[in-house]
Amino acid sequence: MTKNPLNKPAQSQPSAAEQVAALLFASQPDLLPPSHYEKLYPPRLLPKGAMVTRFAPSPTGLMHIGGVYMSLINKRLADQSGGVFFLRLEDTDNERYHADAVNTIIQALTQVNLLPHEGVVGVDKGQALQKGSYGTYVQSERVPIYHTFVRELIAKGLAYPCFLTMEELDETRAKQTLSKQRPGCYGKWAKWRDAAPEKVQEKLAQKTKYVVRLKAPGSYDKRLTWHDEIKGDISVPENDVDAVLIKSDGLPTYHFAHAVDDHLMRTTHVVRGDEWLASVPLHLQLFQAFGWQPPKYAHVGPIEKLEAQPDGHNSRRKLSKRKDPEANIQFYFQKGFPVEAVLEYLTHLIASSFEDWRRQNPAKSLADFAINFKQFSPHGALSDFDKLSSISKDIIADLDAETLYKRALQWALEWDQSLAELMKKHETLTKRALNIERGGERRSKRIATWQDLRSQLFFIYDELFNDLPVFPFPERISTLDRNAIIAAFLKDYQTSWEKQQMLDYAKDMALKQGYAPNGKTFDKDPKAYKGHFGDVMMVIRVAICGARESPDLWEVMQVLGVERVKKRLQQSLG
């Protein structure tokens, strides 16, 4: 046996796996070791029980209402536990990436007051603005990190380069389908799983494209049981498919990147859509491969809608970006739903108990309602526009006239500019009109969205009122009788009338002209009367407001003023 003259420890021969790792990353000698990133991103110093949650969208287009839903859930869980909510951009899918989508995401979260505590918090000149000590929070900027950790897996024999071409994969899939086997790269189909370093080196020399796959340790014949925070204990076959971790362009797949990032960013809870439920066995294998503690997973059912079927029944389906305009969060802003209404509505979808809580705590902040995983339905929540409109009416009804004017004008400046011009031109008149039926027990709930403003304000503005093509007077009142009602009201109209005085006069006039005092009396003997008192008031309302429905008529008349009221009554005589 030859002695080591320098007393240096003999270096062991690299394993086949280590040789493959060295070959694959020979052009990246500056890759840092995993230990560097473990030190760079240490465990967070947070209170016990604090949740670290995230919203991790792919910037691929419009902001789905489901994205706002997920952001609300994740931020609330972090806020109420003293934790951290961060936003990470998962932008490694070059085929679907849209540069403007980053701004769309940030704009939407800003509009609904759900900006993250950390991560991507803005956009400036097309660049993501970030804050926090666990970044970068843009996956395309974290490629060296992914290469560091995938190199470690390869060196440990837990991952491998796969040189199968698309043609070979299609051929494999066809054979599996023909023989009624599960599709995928596993078992005998995973031809590069245990390839010798020499074969790998040969392919690299030929500059053959490759992906890196996980050497899945699972067996499909065995079961994996894990606990989902919403859906409970789930038992599924172990994953035995060698999933792609790094694509041929060097970018990571979602599966690999999320495991590395959620570990290094110290995510405690991954709350995401249940379309990812089937991926959990693979994700748990990735955490196990690194020896990391996995986060707790909670899979939320999607927001769904009812769709009529040919057989007359309704079926539920997920809101679709392509088919459903309400899938886009901008739809709600354009319609004019206040932000508070959208957030309360989404909270209602999270927990059915929220409705009772709100009824008992009408003045409390939404943040005072604590959410927990037990409140979630294992299934999807059903979209309910009637509920959203009801919530919105209550919120708008509680606003004072000054606040209502400011917020309504803000919406109109973006979505209805001609109305905005009228609101600014007649500011005092508009505020007085918005104050009708506001406050007290009889607060108005006529406005469900800011889009309703035009129908609720048009009669205030002469510019709109004078362009009305049709006045919807009651059909059973003849033009002659209608003129008689208007002429009598106009003749004796007093600006000093209080509301009850006006009603008393109108009722007395109606009786003298042959109208029943009420609808019930008229219905008993309709031939004995021209109509009833409600018809008389409808004639006056239409003459003054141009519509059968309006806020309290007496209050409207006070806002319009005597000269305008008389002019409109005079013009309606025809």
Count the Cβ atoms, other than its own, within 10 Å of residue 173.
Answer: 15
Cα distance between residue 373 and residue 231, in whole Å: 9
One DSSP character per residue, 464-480 reads HHTT-S-----TTS-HH
Q: pTM value?
A: 0.90
Among 230, 215, 226, 96, CA closest to 154: 215
Q: Does 4 score more than 70 pLDDT? A: no
pLDDT in tens, 152-175: 999 999 999 999 999 999 999 999
pLDDT for position 2: 43
pLDDT for position 322: 85
Q: Does 402 score more than 80 pLDDT? A: yes
First to last CA, the chain: 124
300 forms beta bridges with 273
pLDDT in tens, 342-375: 999 999 999 989 999 999 999 999 999 999 999 9
Average pLDDT over residues 417-441: 91
Q: Does 472 score more than 60 pLDDT? A: yes
Cα distance between residue 18 and residue 477, in whole Å: 95
Q: Does 8 score more than 60 pLDDT? A: no
Q: Does 1 score more than 60 pLDDT? A: no
Q: What angle do CA 380, 386, 391 make, to 5 degrees?
A: 95
pLDDT for position 380: 87
Q: CB neighbours of 348 closer than 8 A, spacing ≥ 6? A: 354, 355, 384, 387, 391
Tell me the C-alpha to C-alpha distance, in Å, between residue 172 and each of 180, 195, 218, 243, 353. 12, 18, 21, 15, 51
pLDDT for position 9: 53
One DSSP character per residue, 348-410 reads HHH-TTHHHHHHH-TTS-GGGS---GGGS-SSPEEP-HHHHHHHHHHHHHTS-HHHHHHHHHH
Q: Does 439 score more than 70 pLDDT? A: no
Average pLDDT over residues 200-212: 96
Q: Across the chain, which distance is largest between two alpha carbons, in Å?
A: 131
pLDDT for position 231: 95
pLDDT in tens, 174-191: 999 999 999 999 999 999
pLDDT in tens, 113-134: 999 999 999 988 878 899 999 9
| Mean pLDDT, all residues of the chain | 93
Q: pLDDT over 70 for what percent of the chain?
A: 97
Do 217 and 241 contact (CB within 8 A), yes or no?
no
Q: Does 71 score more than 60 pLDDT? A: yes
pLDDT for position 441: 64
DSSP 61: S
Spacing of C-alpha 158 from chain mean position: 38
Q: What angle do CA 373, 374, 376 make, to 5 degrees?
A: 70
